[in-house]
Amino acid sequence: MAAKYNIQAIADLACLKIEDKDLGAFERHFEKILEYFATLEGVDTSGVDPMITPHGIQSPLRADQVKQELSVEKILENAPEVKDSLFKVPPVV
């Protein structure tokens, strides 16, 4: 599990910006963590069913019924910018 990684590339995927001055600290942390986590490599997991959630076996379903829980005003009231009841963002390239 000697993983090669590029913090900036990961940050890019996560839409985070790491300033150059902080890069070293993030890298050191990452390296330590991965070193620590390398212990997992030694566990024999052949044939082990991954556990995603603790107790669930099957999803409950909801009936196909319409319910208006929130007005459009409530939906928009926390938005940074709104125009014509639409969320507004800078031009998307």
21 is a site residue for another protein (CB under 8 A): no
20 is a site residue for another protein (CB under 8 A): no
Which of helix, strand or coil describes residue 83?
strand
- Of residues 46-65, those binding another protein (CB under 8 A): 48-65
Neighbours of 91 (CB within 10 A): 4
C-alpha distances (whole Å) from 78 to each of 16, 67, 74 are 22, 21, 8
CB of 2 to another protein, least distance (A): 10
Return the DSSP state at 38. G
Footprint of another protein (CB under 8 A): 1, 3, 5, 7, 10-18, 22, 26, 29-30, 32-33, 36-37, 39-41, 43, 45, 48-70, 72, 74-81, 83-93
